[in-house]
Structure 1
Amino acid sequence: MSSLRTKGKSTVVWLLMGLLLLGLGGFGITNFSGVSSGAIGAVGSAEIDSRDYVRGVRSDMQGFAMQTGQVLTPDQARAIGIPQQVQGRLFAAAALEAEARRIGLSVGDETVLRDITTAPAFQTAGGQFDAAVYQDVLRREGLTPARFEEDMRMDAARLLLQGAVVGGVTAPQTLRDTTARWLLERRDFSWDELTADDLAAPIAAPAEETLVAWHQANAAQFTAPERRRITYAWLTPEMLESTVQLDEAALRELYQSRIDEFQQPERRMVERLVYSSQAEAEAAKARLDAGEVSFEQLAAERGLTLTDIDLGERSEAELGAAGAAVFALDQPGVVGPLPTDLGPALFSMNAILDPVDVSFEQAVPELRGEAAADRARRVIEEQAHALEDLLAGGASLEDLAAETDMELGEIEFSAETPSQGIAAYEAFRERAAAVTEGEFLQLHELDDGGVFALRLDELIEPELIPFEQVRELVLADWTAAETRRELKIRAEERELLLDSEANGDAPSPAAETDAAAAPDPAAGFQTATDVERNYGIEGVPAEVVTRGFQLETVGDAAAVEAEGRVFLIRLDAIRPADLSAAESQPVLSGVAARLTESVQSDLFEAYVRALQASHGVTLNDSALNAANAMIQ
């Protein structure tokens, strides 16, 4: 019901409420004392009805399911903290309600009436308030009009109080500018990836004892994961395709249902840029013809991207009055201004698509495969009830394979099992990972219309693979690690030489030795200019670029090991951000909004905590436990 009330009217304020979550849920709570039995708790005199709590948890669980496609059980909801989040919001709202009552803050009947009559949940398809719908929704939610309208009045009062607290609060400009400069700063780098070729000699093979010790010290890398020996019976449309009967009438019906795919007129790939007046469109076309701007730049001037104005594939008829001019082009180009329902527009034609004319006879092979698969899916659907009855009657997987079209199979399954055969189906992988010994056999669906049932025969715990079986893997792992260690030493030696050169220092004995072997520590460097903090260098791990942005002085270098590779990176130039540039403005705006949101959140959290401390918070454990038991 929260979506029906005015809580959603202030996006910023209720975003702040959401940010409190667990932080406010348990602040200052004392044991139950003096709260009515129907309330899970209170802040001062403002009680939190258990029904509001149950509705809130169910609403959040439904929201999670809509976003992820995963339906949560109550235990799963508790595991990810949904009840605690709802409690945090309700106790924060109760604190505001208690304070609003204390200072006498309220709204009039006109505001409540407006909020109710404009709530989408109470309106008809035509957007009109419907009293019957209003009564029905409240009845289903177990609310009376008097209580709901009082809740609406208090919600409006809370919004006024919240707005008074955070309204007008913005992040300091100095903080905004400093953050934006940090984000927009660009740098020039020189970098080199060190490989085994940079070593003076290949890594020598170690003694067998060294490999055995490495195997033991890095046991996690050589441990077989938990494995499950599973027997399964399955049936897929592909297994039945060769047995289903198809007639020409069915194929022709399928061909007609897909006629738009097999019969298409000549088409063009088109983008359309609409202007408010003919003069404005003509001026844009003149600039385009003169080579002053590109079509993409014209779109950007109007705050649009090419994606925003893309019409996709269009036939001449679909383009209406503009069709003839666009189709007159024999190569990509721009025409217009041309009239459209939205106003004069420029059309950019980017590609010519030839007509498609696939006859029924030409389409038959493709249609036959699709029709056979579709018929096979229907056959499996028709057989599913009989298969379920067999399982319910105690049939084993072996019985299913003997008495039906299902095929029997075995697999040793783990998270590392390749996605092939039945293990290519996500539904099977999920069930295989969850099935327990002795579990009752059930029929499960595959995403292609097939079905399967499975049985866990044996659970094999993770175990260290014997050294003899993985000796070559151990050798390769040790060699790679030793190579990285030697390369890191080499990179650090070059780093010292580069730093000495940059600082004008006298080389150390180690540096002199290195210089004799490699006079130019910058040999092999590649350059990257105007590197942005968030985009990095193509082909170079982000960790290396991050380290480069941590260097303070031009000429400084750093050896970095990242993603199993070794790099040397040197800072060549620092390019400070120009906050007055046009391209900096979106970043400034985004930084200001994010920082303002953070400041408002901190202020609001402090305010609500102070209210809870001032009014006192109580919790009714028995009512809360009873409410949790109602959540299904």
Structure 2
Amino acid sequence: MSSLRTKGKSTVVWLLMGLLLLGLGGFGITNFSGVSSGAIGAVGSAEIDSRDYVRGVRSDMQGFAMQTGQSLTAEQARAIGIPQQVQSRLFAAAALEAEARRIGLSVGDDVVLRDVTSAPAFQTAGGQFDAALYQDVLRREGLTPARFEEDVRMDAARVLLQDAVVGGVKAPATLRDTTARWILERRDFSWDELTAEDLAAPINPPDEETLIAWHQANAAQFTRPERRHITYAWLTPEMLESTVQLDDSALRDLYQSRIDEFQQPERRMVERLVYSSQAEAEAAKARLDAGEASFEQLAAERGLTLTDIDLGERAESELGAAGAALFALDQPGVVGPLPSDLGPALFSMNAILDPVDVSFEQAMPELRGEAAADRARRVIEEQAHDLEDLVAGGASVEDLAADTDMQLGEIEFSADTPSQGIAAYEAFRQLAPSLTEGEFLQLHQLDDGGLFALRLDQLIAPELIPFDEVRELVLADWTAAETRRELKIRAEERELVLESVANGDLPAEPAETDAGAGSDAAPQPAPPTFQTATDVERDFGIEGVPAAVVTRGFMLENIGDAAAVEAEGRVFLIRLDAIRSSDLSAPESQPVLNGVEARLTESVRSDLFDAYVRALQASHGATINDSALNAANAMIQ
């Protein structure tokens, strides 16, 4: 329902919403004049123009690309259902249009004029409606002003109809309150993580056949990823730093340009709390001196946080009349009231920052390194054209290394390759996985201004590492899995004991037995060493405990119930100790109530609107033109 309101059938929505974004790129839209003018379908008398359909699919594809950074082909768009989504919206909009026509619902010319002239797609950079731009955009889209303005009129009528159907609908209060109570409920838990120390005996190593079978059954864990043997030539500023010539006067100029970094007076970290009158400021200072309120509390009383009143680092000269008093303090404290440009204020000094006095000679190593790197980048920029010419002339990576300052290197690259050397550069890591054998050599830029070119010499497919090479890893993996299995059994035993205690079937403390008496009874599992967590919220969980454990804890129904949970390769036992119901009348509950009501209302309206649209389509009759739809799909690339 909500998507229909923003991406409806009419061309006005595609232009005003979709083309606003495309317009920033010069309205890079394919001319759809070649698409058949036939409708892809209709609901009653309201036809769905094939151009609207094509425009809608393209708009969604471009929206997907903008959100994910990944462009879609037409086949990929079909695979994720974009055409079907657009068809659903267009047929829903057509149903509203048919009904609006039936009941004679429309809007006046003033509404159309307002919508057209306020559309950003038709405005200049200064926000003024541009008639020439309006005509140009419509011409690019193969539209006439008359048709476009009629679409605007009908789009407004559809919105009126939609609002009339669902505008007054709200989620039931009972549903809202029940959901909010569920969200706000807090619980107390006791929990214990079981480790290998909780087992009666260490896990015995398996025989060789078991390990070999484990290696085969879990092949994905012991498979080398796809590897690429790559030869490359690269040049970075760091490679040239030792060879570039640096002028002493240029270094001094650089020092002067950063003088505020190397020469700073003594400073203070200061916060300022301004009052409307001297009397109010004096009363606040008196409360502060008497220990009745902290500086932070005084700020909170005025609706402010310490961040709101933070002045940052200030020299004495920057603090005006308060400078002398603040710089007289030899430790953090509050002074005032003192005049400020906003009125009488209290000033809090939180830290003393010593003056900075770094001479040119002391700064020289840092300046030289920065200047050398900058000069090296310029050298690479100057060489880039010649390097491009060499590559265009058929030079190999070996030729580039032999004839220029570029250096030759080799790497066996995979997803597991550590980030060092050339593999530390994101540009290389993004390009290497898509490199193909025989690919035309190109120069690419590195993040620091360097250049590189690379060639794929060999593609090595993923392969299972021989058992003999990973035997110890296989043993460790089997042992960890077997340990978790045994711990899960132990946790489930403890779970049964806890439930028996909660039901009164067992005493809270197991009865002690005579150490010298023989007994055939099976020993009871040792009681867990619980940690406690109180007032646990669903969304925040317990620090150090996987979310799945807490989720399982919130599924327990009765006080004393327990559950054994395996999560993230660890085994836990969690017991429910208390359920704390929420108070929906409390002020802190109001934001949750409001949010729940908004989401549920949206859901109820959406369900109601979907049912209404289906009823309209059944009443007016919905048809689809397969040939026109196929022709429109063929135009989507």
- TM bracket, shorter-chain basis: 0.7 to 0.9
Match of residue 574 from structure 2: 569
User: In 2, are the aligned partners of 1:497 and 1:515 still within 8 Å (CA)?
Assistant: no
Shift of 1:217: 1.6
Quick check: 1:599 aligned with 2:604?
A: yes
Q: Distance in 2 between matches of 1:55 and 1:319?
A: 60
Counterpart of 1:402 in structure 2: which amino acid?
A
Report the residue type matching 1:384 in the other structure. A
The alpha-carbon deviation at position 392 of structure 1 amounts to 2.1
1:437 — aligned with what? 437
216-225 or 138-147: bigger deviation: 138-147
Secondary structure class of the residue paired with 1:544: helix
Write the deviation string for residues 506-548 of structure 1: whole angstroms up to 9, x where unpaired. Answer: 59xx9999997467514x2111111111111111111111111
Give the AA of the match of 2:237.
P
Q: Does the alignment pair 1:521 with 2:527?
A: yes
Q: Which amino acid is 2:546 matched to?
A: P
Unaligned runs of 5+ residues in structure 2 are: 18-34, 514-518
> Does the aligned pair in 2 maintain the 1:246–1:371 contact within 8 Å?
yes
Name the residue aligned to 1:169: 169
Distance change >3 Å, CA 575–CA 137, structure 1 → 2: same
How do residues 12-411 of structure 1 correspond to structure 2 at under 5 angstroms? 37=37, 39-70=39-70, 80-124=80-124, 127-270=127-270, 312-314=312-314, 331-332=331-332, 349-411=349-411
**Shift in Å at residue 240 of structure 1?**
1.4
- Using the TM superposition, give the Cα deviation of residue 616 of structure 1 relative to its aligned residue in structure 2, in angstroms: 4.0
CA 319–156 in structure 1, closer or farther in 2 if over 3 Å, else same: farther
Residues 1:426 and 1:235: Cα distance change in structure 2 (over 3 Å): same
Aligned-partner residue type, residue 609 of structure 1 = R
Deviation readout 1:43-89 (Å, 9 max, x if unpaired): 44334445544554554455445545555566665555555544444
Cα drift, residue 221 of structure 1: 1.1
Cα distance in 1, alignment partners of residues 321 and 622 from structure 2: 69
* Aligned-partner Cα distance in 1 for 2:286–2:61: 56
Residue-by-residue CA offset, 1:598-617 (whole Å, 9 max, x unaligned): 11222222223333343444
Corresponding residue SS for 2:361: helix
1:353 offset after TM fit, Å? 3.5
Give the Cα–Cα distance (whole angstroms) in 2 for the partners of residues 144 and 338 of structure 1.
Answer: 68
1:6 and 1:156 in contact (8 A); partners too: no
Q: Which amino acid aligns with 2:193?
A: E
Determine the C-alpha separation between the residues in 1 that align with 2:520 and 2:591. 48
The root-mean-square deviation of aligned C-alpha atoms, in Å, is 3.8
Mapped to 2, the partners of 1:55 and 1:299 lie a distance apart of: 54
CA distance in 2, matches of 1:133, 1:320: 54
1:352 Cα deviation (Å)?
A: 3.9
Sort the Cα spacing of 1:276 and 1:589 in 2 relative to 1 into closer, same or farther, 3 A.
farther
Whether the 8 Å contact between 1:188 and 1:573 is mirrored in structure 2 is yes
* Aligned-residue identity in percent: 86
Equivalent positions of 1:499-578 (< 5 A) are 499-505=499-505, 517=523, 521-522=527-528, 524-578=529-583
- Cα drift, residue 310 of structure 1: 5.1
1:480, distance to aligned residue in structure 2 (A): 0.9
| Counterpart residue type for residue 530 of structure 2 | F
- Are the structure 2 counterparts of residues 295 and 552 from structure 1 closer, same or farther at C-alpha, using a change threshold of 3 Å? farther
What letter corresponds to residue 155 of structure 1 in structure 2?
Answer: D
| C-alpha distance in structure 1 between counterparts of 2:97 and 2:281, whole Å | 55
Task: Give per-residue Cα distances to partners, 1:567-605, cap 9 Å, x unaligned.
Answer: 111111111111111211111111111111211222222
7 and 199 in structure 1: CA distance in 2 versus 1, 3 angstrom threshold: closer
Q: 1:339, 1:165 → 2: CA distance?
A: 60
Q: Out of 579, 582, 588, which is 2:593 matched to?
A: 588
Change in Cα spacing, 1:588 to 1:336, as seen in structure 2 (3 Å) is: farther
Cα separation, 2, equivalents of 1:213 and 1:394: 52
Cα gap change, 1:544 to 1:277, in 2 (>3 Å): farther
The 8 Å contact of residues 262 and 357 in structure 1, kept in 2 or not, is answered as yes
Residues 538-572 of structure 1: CA deviation (Å, up to 9, x unaligned): 11111111111111111111111111111111111
**Matched residues in 1 for 2:318 and 2:384: separation?**
46
Kept in 2, the 8 Å contact 1:99–1:611? The answer is yes
SS at match of 2:189: strand
The match for 1:26 is none
**How far is the alpha carbon of 1:504 from its aligned partner?**
0.9
Change (3 A) 1:173 1:347: farther
Secondary structure of the residue aligned to 2:554 is helix
CA–CA separation in structure 2 for the residues paired with 1:338 and 1:622? 81
Q: Match of 1:181, SS? A: helix
Residues 1:160 and 1:339: Cα distance change in structure 2 (over 3 Å)? farther
Query: Paired residue for 2:31?
Result: none
- Partners of 1:615 and 1:66 lie apart in 2 by 37
Once the two structures are TM-superposed, the CA of residue 628 in structure 1 deviates from its matched residue by: 5.5
Letter in 1 for 2:613: V
Q: How far has the Cα of 1:624 moved from its partner? A: 5.2
Matched residue SS, 1:159 = helix
Distance 1:594 1:214, change over 3 A: same
Distance in 2 between the 1:605 and 1:271 partners? Answer: 55
- Secondary structure at the residue paired with 2:585? coil
Q: What is the identity, as a one-letter code, of the residue corresponding to 1:481?
A: A
* Correspondence for 1:424: 424
**Corresponding residue number in structure 2 for 1:453:** 453
Gaps of 5+ in 1: 19-34
Question: Is residue 2:467 matched to residue 1:462?
Answer: no
Summarize the Cα distance change of 1:213–1:123 in structure 2 as closer, same or farther, 3 Å threshold.
closer
Alignment partners' CA distance in 1, 2:338 and 2:119: 42
In structure 2, give the amino acid aligned to 1:550.
Answer: M
CA 1:200–1:158: 2 relative to 1, 3 Å: same
Q: Is the 8 A contact 1:493 1:514 kept in 2?
A: no
| 1:41 Cα offset (Å) | 4.3
Cα distance change of structure 1 residues 162 and 77 upon mapping to structure 2, 3 Å threshold: same
Question: 2:36–2:628: 8 Å Cα contact kept in structure 1?
Answer: no
Residues 570 and 101 (structure 1), Cα distance of their counterparts in 2 relative to 1, 3 Å cut: same
Sort the Cα spacing of 1:266 and 1:515 in 2 relative to 1 into closer, same or farther, 3 A. farther
What is residue 28 of structure 2 aligned with on the other side?
none
Mark the CA change 1:99 to 1:299 in structure 2 (over 3 Å): closer, same or farther: farther
Q: Which has the larger radius of gyration?
A: 2
Return closer, same or farther for 1:347/1:481 CA change in 2, 3 Å cut-off. Answer: same
Aligned length: 603
Secondary structure at 2:229 match in 1: strand
* Contact 1:6/1:115 (<8 A) preserved: no
Q: Distance in 1 between matches of 2:445 and 2:520?
A: 66
Change (3 A) 1:149 1:291: farther
CA contact (8 A) 2:57 2:83 kept: yes
Cα pair 2:493 2:525 within 8 Å, conserved = no
Q: 1:602 to 1:438 in 2, by over 3 A?
A: same
Residues 173 and 386 of structure 1, relative CA distance in 2, 3 Å threshold: same
Which amino acid in structure 2 is aligned with residue 403 of structure 1? D
